[in-house]
Structure 1
């Protein structure tokens, strides 16, 4: 069972940071590292990365499926995951 409340709370926090241009200030690489650290922490609390990155993953450069930094996306997942999944 996934911690949906925690996932959606983290999504809201990331959206608020994005609205405040924090990620513009950090730059792409530091943003990807930060989001990766959030996902690692969220895993310990049984949160869902897809819910955390909903409507944000592509903008922040992190694949919601594998949780890795990415530059190329197909829809909301990185090109590599898309190829592996045969989508």
Structure 2
């Protein structure tokens, strides 16, 4: 199997549509998922525009950050009273 111009164009189109490497490999035939991933990286296509949705953000990621205030300096302990 060789990467013809037509196969590369198909890969680029499907990748931009958000298809998985496995789906692209099946469509192209004669190529593995890993070969598709390697070609994508060599072509510099790793950043998808319409790819998978963002992972669920944790509560910490969605709440505004509050700057921590430095703790007040500890006051020196008072000496014990003499009897």
TM-score normalised by structure 1 residue count = 0.29
Structure number with greater Rg is 2
| Bigger fraction of residues in strand | 1
| Bigger fraction of residues in helix | 1
